[in-house]
Structure 1
Amino acid sequence: MTPLLLVSAIQLAMFGLAMLLLWRQEYRYRYVRLWGWSWVLLALGLTGGPLMQDHFAPGGALRALQALLASAALMGSQLLQLMGSLDFRGRRLRLGLWLPGLLVVMTVLATLGTWHMPSAVLFGGLVLGLGAMVSAWLLWQQGSSQARWVGVCFVAAGLVHATGPLLDPSGRSVVTYGLGAIVQLVLSLALILLSLERAHAQARLQAERFTRLAERSLQGLVVLRGRQLLYANPAALSMFGYTELQAAQQSDVLDALVAPEQREQAVRRHLELVQNPEAHFEWEETRRRRDGRLLHLHGLSSQIIWDGAPAELLALIDDTARHVALEALRHQALHDDLTGLPNRNFTVERLRDLTRPGAAPFALVSADIDRFQLVNETLGHAVGDALLLAVAQRLRSELADVATVARLGEDQFVLLVQGPQAGERAAARRFVERLLQLFQRPFAVEDAELHVHISAGVALFPLDGSDGAALLRAADTAAHRAKAEPGPSYAFFEASMNQAAQERMLAEQSLAKALEAGEFELLYQPKVRAGSRELLGFEALVRWQRPGHGQVSPAEFVPAAERTGQIQALGALIVALATRQLRDWLDRFGEVLPVAINVSPLQFEDARFVPRLLAAIEAMDLPRGSLQIEMTESAAIGHIEEVRPQLERLRQAGVLCALDDFGTGQSSLTMLRQLPIYSMKLDRSMIAPLPQHEASAVVRATCALGHSLGLEVVAEGVETEEQALAAEALGCTQLQGYHLGRPLQSTQAGELLAGRLSAALSAPSSRPDAPAPPGPRPG
């Protein structure tokens, strides 16, 4: 009986070791390890129990230790068997449950084994049988045929364990051990097969999952070994224009799909991946479809073991749509929507590259279309856009071989001229003259021919600027200078231009602060009656007393105020200074003479100008006729629709208006009759030649025109007595100029006014040659 028991124990130990080796192939299957150790402990329990108990005297300490170890091995085997069955079902036995139970069973077994071995054998058989039955129930509940067959084997093992003490009180019945050996053999084989079937089922499941994921993935998956295509999922096949894997495998993918300039890098990456399992590469490259179209791919390459050998796994994303969209956005960001030419962003980037240290010299030309705004205003913006497109097409077709043409905005174009000697002044001059020549031919726009010219400014790198921003400023400054010349023209940048531009900018920046600080004052130039030379009033002339710069002429700051939109604030300040001074003179002398202020046509664009002017007069409680306004002839002509209704409102309110600088514009008799004015001031250019015959004829005719319209005629810029006498003789009714009175400070003007008023009070009113009071003539 002992050899049979020994063979059974060795057999159990071998099956346990076999299951442990099986577990080492796939550590995920924890139940295989538990069952393996269960069989090893069962073999140890059988060896240390029935086989060894005769070698120790009953009642001795060694017999007690032998019984304890054997019972521990047997109960541990049963516990691991139960835990393995639970793990097979995806459950776990908590430590707080099995450890106390194990200790109690072991204690009972050890006690019974010391006191009465048959009782211990009976108790142990019952525990082993019960544990086998629980395992059988757990596996039966799993539902598969293999698991239920193992459950039946567990039932058989449980019956053997439970009936053994009935056949032999010491548990060493030949029938029990014979049947036990057979049952344990079958059970062991069944557990191994069950574990293998479970492992294979999960492997098949994983393979099916991978296949489903790969087949349905939007990401392309490709496996390569050298030039051989091993696998490609449907997404990858569709990406490259194939319908079947076999068709793709028949071609050399390296030659068919990879551009020649990228093959070396692809081969080098593949070799490194095959040799190094840890290597992986993320890349973005172009590939070709089967039909020759380019793909922009984002790929991740890593090693994969395929059919027992390393290969390259490529995970591919077709990024073509995003790449095309980004290129479209980049093109839109760097090109003009209307003309398709490069825009300011492109120009700035290009200049940044061209002006790096050590870069070759080149020329930058900034060109503006002269009077382009007039095209928009008269023919409409659609025609203006068509003209810009025609200009862009001509520049691109005629100059693309020697220059990069760009449009910065509105009617401004820039040209980057590169090449040998491009940075030299002579070569730049030849280019810009060629550029101006292109505009000698008219442009066909909207079934019409438009003749336009440009003004161009030239800046040379590195002479006129070391970076793109400086060059653009220099070219724009030179173009601004060229635009001041009549007709098509060009100018090279000079340092003095930059100085003037900086001064102009500083003046514009300082203007707002000057308005707040009250750095402006009014000077008063007398106007006198022709013949009697009696004082009739003053023209208020604004001056800017700029700290650190002295007195600034209105010719400098008034255009700056118009450019910066501060003309309204300046005009309001002039009105305030003039009305305040009139109020002061009225309070001191009880009477005033009219003061005329100059008004910019831009002030009439503000609908609140007239109400504010009248409100200022009312606030100072002044006679309406005490404040007059003057505006230039050219301003009145250019803004007649805005000016005329506001002049009507002023005349109805008693505020008179004079037309200044008459003779410099293109006034017509009809226009003069339309404007509600009370006087016309002849420009100094008409007075300066007097008393020459030709000039006298023009002045005489103009005075006759003014008298026929009931207007005062003022000779402005009278510098000599000869000019004064001639103007009086030709019909001018008022005189103004340095010969008759220079612009005066308010105190000096007040003294002159006081003297005029005192003389008027002391003169007898019945004098037949007393001059008529100032004001417009009847009509």
Structure 2
Amino acid sequence: MTALMLVSACLNIMLGGALLLLWAQERHQDHVRDWGWSWMLLGIGLTLGPIMQDWLAPGPLRDLQALMAAASLMASQGFQTVGALRYRGRRFSKPFTFGLFVLSVALIATLGMHDMRAALIAGAAVLSLMCLVSGWLIWQGGHRFERWVAMGFGALAAVHASGPVLDEHARSVLTYSLGILVQTTLCLGLILLSVRRAHALARQQGERFTRLAEFSLQGLVVMRNHRLLYANPAALAIFGATEMPSEDVDLIELAVPPEQHDAARMRHARVLADRNAHIEWESHRLARDGGAVHLQCLSSQVEWDGTAAELIVMINDSSRYEAAEALRRQALHDELTELPNRNHAVARLQALCRPGAPPFTLLSADLDRFQLVNETLGHEAGDALLRAIARRLSRQLPPNAELARLGEDQFVIIGADVGDTIAAQALAEQLLGMLATPFSVAGAELFVHLSIGVALFPQDGRDAATLLRAADSAMHRAKATAGASWLFFDATMKQAAQARLEVEQALGRALAAGEFLLEYQPKFSAGTRQLCGFEALVRWERPDRGRVSPVEFIPAAERTGQIKALGGLIIAMACTQLREWEQTLGGALPVAVNVSPLQFEDPLFAERLLEQLRAHELPPGRFEIEITETAAIGHVERVLPQLAQLRQAGVPIALDDFGIGQSSLTMLRQLPIAAMKLDSSLITPLPASDAAAIVQAACVLGRSLKLEIVAEGVETPAQATSAEALGCTQLQGYLLGRPLPAAIATQLLEQALRKAP
């Protein structure tokens, strides 16, 4: 009997070990671990209980043995029930379970110390009850196989209950024989049940991942040795395929552009060699129709049929790539002409202007009078003309010349292989020749002229910005020449441009700092040579450079529009000086001020001037306006009404530089002038007869219009005498008086006022 019980105990321990080994393979199935420990503890409990209970004499050791046996048996049933709960996904309270365990052990141990029979019955009852609970849990909602296992728990409960019934000491041969059979069968059933669940979970997980792969928007491709093993529908759709290609097809040869074959093979070999490889990459691949697809991919190693393979997770990034390419093209290309734009040209120049690079040529070409096309034919015609020019130049320029549009009507040509002046000259002349044939635009034939500036690398600039400025400077100088022309850049252009820029930038600071002053050049009456007035001339005293010539800063002020502020300052200073003379000397003579036609762009110029005179309490006749005939004729609609307003208010007006512009007798009659100033170019040749005839004719004309006639630039006595004899009424020039500072002009005026009758 003892041998049978020992076999039963050992078999339970072995079955428990088998369950624990199964759990070691499927660690997520915690119920298998619980059942393994249940069978192990059952075998230990049987060994310590019925098998060894007669080995020790009554006493403390035997009581300890009984306690350990009871603890093992109760723990076995506890693990068994907890395993059933875990199998069904039920929660349980660890403190409650532990408390129930301690209570059961204490009850059986106490009974065992007083009545072993009662202890055996109680233990059998607890074991049977727990088996029934486990069977009930397995039965609930289970399939057929689970119910067979539940019935096994019921049979085991009957075996436990038969122990004290069939034998006083629970050592019945039948009980242990049935126990071996039932426990073995039940354990095998639990193993099969756990394996079946593991397979079901694996199948479910496989189906889940299969569905994820099948319905994923990401393409999944598995390949080994360049052969396709698997591709999900998303991957097939990316490549425009409806079915997987044959495994005999080399996937790299089929889908990878030829220039990327080597990189793809190297990446594949690296992934197969390294199980931890994770390589992110993006590139083009070829779709079924031969078109390019831009992909973002992650390559890693995956085990496929027991062998390493490459798993490629891919996203079709073609839309983003095309959008980025469109933005890049927009950033680097001109939308109107489809030519490279300024950004592209600058980037190309930067690449060419590297240290030690071979010489090359840059041409800056600008259309002459292009704005006239826009104004007369419309901007649509202007755009069409630009496109036609771009097409012709793109077709006819030599292969080594790169064409770009900088903006509006300006183009640049980069001659990467044109490294000397002779070749650069030939390219410039070739460019002009390309436009000799007219363009048919908007139903009209248009002849186009270019002004071209040529700059050479590295002598004219060692970086892109400097080279562009050099070519632009030469182009602007070429535009000053009539018709199509080209010019090489030279250092004087840069110096002149820098000087213009420097003066233009300094003008604003000079106006704010009050660096301007007036000098007064006297005018004298013909014959008597008496002082009859002054012309106020503006001077710029720069603290860092001294006096700046008006020839430099007046054109700069007109180019930048600062002539309006400067003209206003001159009028204010002249009015202040006149008021000072009136107050200190008790009188004054008229002061003339030159006015730019740009000042008349202000429709309130005349009104503001009269307001200045009123504010300084000056008679209108004390302040004279001088305007050139070219300015008056060129801006007659804007100038004439305001001149009329000033003349009506009593402000004298003089026509300056008469004889060098577009002289018009009709304009002389229309202008409300009180004086005409003969330009020094008419006075300088005097007393030559031909010059005298012209001056005399002008004086006759002036007298007939009742005008004062001022001879400018009188520098010799002969010129003065001749001008007086020919009819000039006033003289002005270095012979009689240079421009004077205000203090000296004040002294001269004071002397003249004292001599006046």
Same fold per TM (> 0.5)? yes
Aligned to 1:18: 18
Helix, strand or coil for the counterpart of 2:394? helix
Per the TM alignment, residue 61 of structure 1 is displaced from its structure 2 partner at its CA by 2.7
- Rounded to whole Å, the distance in 2 between the matches of 1:607 and 1:632 is 19
Output aligned runs, 1:716-727, within 5 Å: 716-727=712-723
**Greater Cα shift, 48-57 or 696-705:** 696-705
1:321 aligns with one of 319, 322, 340: 319
Q: 2:295 aligns with which of 271, 287, 297?
A: 297
| Shift in alpha-carbon separation, 1:338–1:646, aligned structure 2, 3 A | farther
Match of 2:337 among 336, 339, 343: 339
**C-alpha spacing 1:66/1:186, structure 2 compared with 1 (3 Å):** same
- Judge which range, 568-577 or 634-643, deviates more: 634-643
Q: Which residue of 1 aligns with 2:583?
A: 587
1:249 deviation in Å? 4.5
Match of 1:458 among 454, 464, 467: 454
Confirm or deny that 1:503 pairs with 2:503: no
Which residue does the alignment assign to 1:97?
96
Code of the residue aligned with 2:323 in structure 1: it is: A
Match of 1:129 in 2: 128
What whole-Å deviation, never above 9, does each CA across 1:148-207 have from its counterpart, x for those lacking one? 443343344334435543444533334433443343233222322221222122111111
Match of 2:386 among 362, 371, 388: 388
For 1:107-144, what per-residue CA distance to the aligned partner results, in whole angstroms no more than 9, with x for missing partners?
Answer: 33333333332232233233333333333343344544
Q: In 2, distance between residues paired with 1:676 and 1:661?
A: 16
**In structure 1, what residue type is equivalent to 2:404?**
A
- Secondary structure of the 2:204 match is helix
Give the SS at the match of 2:519: strand
1:602 to 598, 603, 622: 598
Distance 1:37 1:737, change over 3 A: same
Q: CA deviation at 1:545?
A: 0.5
Given that 1:83 and 1:92 are in contact with CA atoms closer than 8 Å, whether structure 2 keeps it comes out as no
Conserved in 2, the CA contact under 8 Å of 1:651 and 1:676? Answer: yes
Provide the TM-score with structure 1 as the length reference: 0.91
Task: Please show how residues 61-72 of structure 1 align to structure 2 within 5 Å.
Answer: 61-72=60-71
Please name the residue that 1:753 is paired with.
749
1:427 lines up with 2:423 in the alignment: yes
Q: Tell me if structure 2 keeps the 8 A contact 1:442–1:449.
A: yes
Q: Deviations over 1:630-683 (max 9, x none)?
A: 233333333333333433443344434333223333354454455444433333
Q: Is residue 2:669 matched to residue 1:663? A: no
Deviation at 1:353, TM superposition (A): 0.8
User: CA 1:746/1:129 → structure 2, altered by over 3 Å: closer, same or farther?
Assistant: same
> Once the 2 structures are TM-superposed, how far is the Cα of residue 241 of structure 1 from its aligned partner?
2.0
Q: Indicate yes or no: 2:102 matched with 1:106.
A: no
| 2:209 aligned partner | 210
Task: For residue 494 of structure 1, report the CA deviation from its aligned partner.
Answer: 2.6
Measure, in 1, the Cα distance between the counterparts of 2:661 and 2:510: 32
1:120-199, aligned counterparts within 5 Å?
120-162=119-161, 164-199=163-198
Q: Secondary structure at the match of 1:291?
A: coil
> Which amino acid is the alignment partner of residue 280 of structure 1?
H
Residue 264 of structure 1: aligned partner = 262
Aligned pairs for 1:596-745 (under 5 A) are 596-707=592-703, 709-745=705-741
Write the letter of the residue equivalent to 1:9.
A
- Deviations, residues 200-221 of structure 1 (Å, cap 9, x unaligned): 2211111111111111112111
Structure 2: segments with no counterpart, 5+ residues = none
* 2:397 pairs with one of 396, 399, 420: 399
Q: What's the secondary structure of 1:401's corresponding residue?
A: coil
Residues 1:5 and 1:334: Cα distance change in structure 2 (over 3 Å): same
Whether the aligned pair in 1 keeps the contact of 2:592 and 2:623 (CA below 8 Å) is: yes
Letter of the structure 1 residue corresponding to residue 29 of structure 2? Y
Change in 2 beyond 3 A, CA 1:486/1:173: same
Amino acid at match of 1:188: C
Instruction: Judge which range, 485-494 or 270-279, deviates more.
Output: 485-494
Alpha carbons of structure 1 residues 38 and 712: separation in structure 2 relative to 1, 3 Å: farther
Q: What secondary structure does 1:55 align onto?
A: coil
Mapped to 1, the partners of 2:228 and 2:346 lie a distance apart of 47
Counterpart secondary structure, 2:16 = helix
Q: For 2:673 and 2:731, locate their aligned partners in 1 and report how far apart those are by CA, in whole Å.
A: 18
CA distance in structure 1 between the partners assigned to 2:637 and 2:335 by the alignment: 35
**Structure 1 residue 511: Cα displacement:** 1.9
Distance of aligned partners of 1:497 and 1:154 in 2 relative to their CA distance in 1, 3 Å threshold = same
Stretch of structure 1 that moved more, 215-224 or 425-434: 425-434
- Judge conservation of contact 1:297–1:320 (CA < 8 Å) in 2: yes
- Structure 1 residue 731, shift from structure 2 partner: 4.1
Matched with 2:234 is 235
**Cα distance in 1, alignment partners of residues 436 and 696 from structure 2:** 43
Mapping of residues 453-602 of structure 1, within 5 Å: 453-602=449-598
Seen in structure 2, the aligned counterparts of structure 1 residues 438 and 172 have a Cα distance that, compared at 3 Å, is: same
Is the 8 Å Cα contact of residues 242 and 248 (structure 1) preserved in structure 2? no
Further displaced range: 689-698 or 748-757:
689-698
Distance 1:436 1:160, change over 3 A: same
Cα RMSD for the two superposed structures = 2.6
How much has 1:746 moved relative to structure 2?
Answer: 0.8
Go from structure 1 to structure 2 and tell me whether the alpha carbon gap of 1:502 and 1:57 turns closer, same or farther (over 3 Å shift).
same
2: distance between equivalents of 1:216 and 1:749?
98
Structure 2 counterpart SS, 1:544: strand
Displacement after TM superposition at 1:701 (Å): 4.2
Structure 1 residue matching 2:54: 3-state secondary structure: helix
Q: Is the 8 A contact 1:89 1:142 kept in 2?
A: no
The match for 1:276 is 274
In structure 2, distance between residues paired with 1:689 and 1:594 = 29
Distance in 2, Cα, partners of 1:618 & 1:149: 122
1:38 offset after TM fit, Å?
A: 1.7
CA distance, structure 2, for counterparts of residue 515 and residue 300 of structure 1: 66
2:97 match: secondary structure: helix
Q: Which amino acid aligns with 1:495?
A: A
CA change 1:611–1:127 in 2 (3 A) is: farther
Report the CA distance shift for 1:744/1:196 in structure 2 as closer, same or farther (over 3 A). same
| Residue ranges of structure 1 left out of the alignment (5+ in a row) | 764-779
- In the alignment, is the contact (CA less than 8 A) between 1:629 and 1:658 conserved in 2? yes
Shift of 1:50: 1.2
Mapped contact 2:521–2:739 kept (Cα < 8 A): yes
CA contact (8 A) 2:540 2:547 kept: yes
Secondary structure of the residue aligned to 2:311 is strand
Change (3 A) 1:735 1:155: farther
> C-alpha separation between the residues in 2 aligned to 1:608 and 1:216?
76
State TM-score, norm by structure 2. Answer: 0.93
SS at match of 1:53: coil
Q: Pick from 361, 364, 367 the counterpart of residue 365 of structure 2.
A: 367
Q: Is the 8 A contact 2:377 2:442 kept in 1?
A: no
Tell me the residue number matched to 1:37.
37
Partners of 1:702 and 1:747 lie apart in 2 by 35
CA–CA separation in structure 2 for the residues paired with 1:709 and 1:488: 45
Measure the CA separation in 2 of the matches of 1:3 and 1:240. 72
Report the 3-state secondary structure (helix = DSSP H, G, I; strand = E; otherwise coil) of the residue aligned with 1:54.
Answer: coil
SS at match of 1:124: helix
Tell me whether 708-717 or 547-556 shows the greater mean CA deviation. Answer: 708-717
Contact 1:684 1:716 in 2 (8 A): yes
Change (3 A) 1:72 1:634: farther
Asked whether the equivalents of residues 122 and 169 of structure 1 are also in contact (C-alpha less than 8 Å), the reply is: no
Match of 1:50 in 2: 50
Query: Percent identity between the aligned chains?
Result: 59
- Against the structure 1 CA distance between its residues 697 and 83, is the aligned structure 2 distance closer, same or farther, given a 3 Å change threshold? farther
Work out whether 1:226 is the aligned partner of 2:222.
Answer: no
- Residues 676, 182 of structure 1: CA spacing in aligned structure 2 closer, same or farther, 3 A cutoff? farther
CA distance, structure 2, for counterparts of residue 108 and residue 380 of structure 1? 110
Deviation by residue 1:65-124 (Cα, 9 ceiling, x = unmatched): 222222222222222223222322334444433334433333333333333322322332
Partner of 1:768: none
